[in-house]
Amino acid sequence: MKRSFRILLLLALMAVTAVQVQAQKKNSKIDVAEALKGYFKPVTTPSATPDAEGFIRRWMILEPISKPNPTNRVFTDSYTRENLSVEYFPDQLTVLPKDGDKVKVTMEYQPPVNLSSNRPAARPQQDQPKFVKATLTWHALDSDHFFVKLFRFATGLDKDRYGVIFWTVTVINCEEDIENVRLAVGSNKAARWWVNGEEVLLLAGDRHMGVDSAVSDRVTLKKGKNILRGVTMNGPGMSEFCARFIDDTGKPVTGYTITCN
């Protein structure tokens, strides 16, 4: 190996390490409760219940994974399925994390957002994407609202806000089987959702969050723990979702408790 190439490799590794360290430093300095004030509170109780309209407010949320998308036009069914089928971290479809758990990911680098511009900073087409390693943290949070404002989760924690992927998971605890319920999700933007490991919704398109925008086929919430998992991907705009279970007449189902794991 030529000396000049070794030097280049060393510099590249140093750059990746610097980005990783910077990300971790940023995180460690943040008071989560203060940073997310107005949108979330850290979980302080053993369990929660859905709100009066059935919305699920308690979630484990992973810090966003960068996946630059300079436009929302790309979110077709195929694109959504393909890009939300990538393994971003081990056991992403089964993990039940605890607050503060860390996840190591390799993700596409994007430059810091330029808030003085009204256009996203697109990577020149001729350039190959650059990937960086990052360590991301799971946060156990109660939303202050019926919706989960992923965008403010990201900005509050000083993370990438546009072109990112959010993994979210929560546990629905039932005292007995609840049959023929449907997961009803409003989502900004594209998303996939699973109940007990079974995909129940794929939400494509340049969509915005409305209550009960998309409703799954009938599912059974079984006695005991049920795992509700969603992954949401945005482009150059807002990101948020709301989720609840409804019955065949559209009425909210509320007879369960919610825990983080």
Partner 1 sequence: MKRIVFICILLLTGVSLHAQTGAPYIHDPSSIVKSDGKYFTFGTGGGGLISEDGWSWHSGAVRPGGGAAPDAIKIGDRYLIIYGTTGGGMGGGHASKIMTMWNKTLDPDSPDFAYSEPVMVCESLVDEDFNAIDPGVLLDPTTGRLWLTCGTYFGHIRQVELDPKTGFRVEGNEAIDVGRNMEASTMMYRDGWYYLLGTHGTCCDGVNSTYNIVVGRSRNVNGPFIDNVGRSMIQGGGKSVVTTEGRLVGPGHFGRYIEEEGVEKMSFHWEADMDQSGRSVLAIRPLLWKDGWPVAGEAFREGTYEIQSVRSGYALELEVDFIRAQGAMRGLGRGNEPQPNVVLEEQKLEDVAGTWPEGVIGARNGYYMGRPWQRWSVIPVPEAGGYLGGPYYKIVIAGTDRALAANDKAEVETVPAFTGAPEQLWRIDQLTDGTYRIMPKSIPGHDEPYALVSLGDCSPTLAPFDFKSDNSKWDFRCYSPVK
Compose the 30-69 pattern: x for residues touching partner 1 by CB under 8 A, - for all others: ----------------------------------------
Q: Looking only at residues 212 through 251 of this chain, which bind partner 1 when binding is defined by CB under 8 A? A: 212-218, 246, 248-250
Distance CA 65, CA 84 (A): 11
Hunting for tokens 């723990």 — which residue is that? 225
CA 61 to chain centre: 6
Distance CA 259, CA 148 (A): 16
Structure tokens at 81: 């399925």
Which of 60, 164, 184, 233 is close enough to bind partner 1 by CB under 8 A? 184
Q: Which stretch binds partner 1 (CB under 8 A): 6-14, 122-130, 165-173, 204-212?
A: 204-212
**Which letter does DSSP use for residue 91 in this model?**
T
Q: Minimum distance between the CB of residue 205 and partner 1, rounded to whole angstroms?
A: 6
| Cβ nearer to partner 1, comparing 177 with 217 | 217
Could you give the C-alpha distances from 197 to 42, 51, 219, in angstroms and in order? 26, 24, 12
Q: How many helices (H) does the chain have, and how many strands (E)?
A: 4, 14
| Cβ nearer to partner 1, comparing 62 with 209 | 209
Distance CA 156, CA 40 (A): 10
Q: Minimum distance between the CB of residue 221 and partner 1, rounded to whole angstroms?
A: 17
Which of 90, 100, 129, 210 is close enough to bind partner 1 by CB under 8 A? 210
Compose the 153-182 pattern: x for residues touching partner 1 by CB under 8 A, - for all others: -----------------------------x
Q: Looking only at residues 86 through 145 of this chain, which bind partner 1 when binding is defined by CB under 8 A? A: none
Distance CA 42, CA 34 (A): 10
Could you give the C-alpha distances from 141 to 41, 45, 183, in angstroms and in order? 6, 11, 20
Q: Which stretch binds partner 1 (CB under 8 A): 28-36, 76-84, 101-109, 229-237?
A: 76-84
CA 136 to chain centre: 12
| Cβ nearer to partner 1, comparing 140 with 243 | 243
Residues lying near partner 1 in the complex (CB under 8 A): 73, 76-79, 182, 184, 203-205, 210, 212-218, 246, 248-250
